[in-house]
Amino acid sequence: MQRFDVPQSKISHIFISHLHGDHYLGLMGLLFSMHLNKRTYDLHLYAPFGLQEIILLQLRYSKSVLNFNIHFHPFEPTAQVILLDDEVVKVETIPLNHKLPCAGFLFREKHKMLNLNKTKLQDGMLLQHIALLKQGIDVKDETGRVIYKSADYTLPPKPSRSYAYCSDTMWNEGMVDQIKGIDLLYHESTFLETDRDKALETKHSTARQAAAMANLCGAKKLILGHFSARYRDLNDMLTEAQAEFENTVLAIEGETTHIVA
């Protein structure tokens, strides 16, 4: 995060898929960095049952009290549950199939307001007028006469986007209906198809299986990640997946992937 100038201060919610070490061991360092940077506003942690005990135990034995409050939101990974539902986004768990109970996360943007056509703005318009117009509501005077019609001053909203993050899982058709038509799918591809027996043993997926899932759920774009350290050339992963699903990219640190609805 420091290397790519991602400010810790913007983080308000953290989602942990399961309690294998590579998915949460860095969390204490992040929490203490936030503390040392004088963070005072609340942080929400979503994770399977057990993370709260792990964190509180470390705080207790280090005799540490953070400057900010942590709100723990434990969940059962084997069930599909809504974790967050506000005016901007809805987040729910995706039950996965792994050695430990594990959940992915489905992010869906809410319906967006209309865009204001700034070329049509008129003198005398108030902020409350603009707020109504963006909601699709015509502005009327005291007599009920329409003075500003929403359709005349607005443009269609940007499409709402969706993103499914499927961390550690073997082939899992049970999630297809939940992520049908997803705009962007992140799916683990720990192994190549030549090591499919290893994937089955460890309850992970191959790059080809990730691509097959993208096809099955009708995803628009696929990101491969969670690569085994045994592979020196990740382009083999990309080649294998693109043979099944062309619009595939690799999850590479520092690169940006745009979600297009």
From 5, 22, 86, 123, active-site residue = 22
Q: Are strands 115-116 and 154-155 parallel, antiparallel or unpaired?
A: antiparallel
Per-residue pLDDT reduced to its tens digit, 106-146? 999 998 888 889 888 888 888 999 899 988 899 998 899 99
pLDDT of residue 122: 85
Q: What's the full length of the chain, in residues? A: 261
Mean pLDDT of 166-186: 97
Determine the number of helices (DSSP H) and then strands (DSSP E) in the chain: 7, 14
- The encoded tokens of residue 84 equal 């967050």
Of 58-62, 129-133, 185-189, the one with minimum mean pLDDT is 129-133
Name the 3-class secondary structure at 207.
Answer: helix
- The encoded tokens of residue 73 equal 């939101």
Per-residue pLDDT reduced to its tens digit, 72-111? 999 999 999 999 999 999 999 999 999 999 999 999 999 8
Mean pLDDT of 57-75: 97
Question: What gap in Å lies between CA 226 and CA 229, rounded to an integer?
Answer: 9
Q: CATH says 76-111+159-261 is which class?
A: alpha beta
Higher pLDDT, 114 or 20: 20
User: Vertex 121, ends 119 and 124: CA angle to 5°?
Assistant: 155
Report whether 132 contacts 149 (CB < 8 A). Answer: no
Question: What gap in Å lies between CA 119 and CA 212, rounded to an integer?
Answer: 46
Domain residue limits, the chain: 1-75, 76-111+159-261, 115-155
Q: Is 22 a catalytic residue?
A: yes
Question: What gap in Å lies between CA 193 and CA 210, rounded to an integer?
Answer: 11
Name the 3-class secondary structure at 21.
Answer: helix
Question: What gap in Å lies between CA 207 and CA 192, rounded to an integer?
Answer: 6
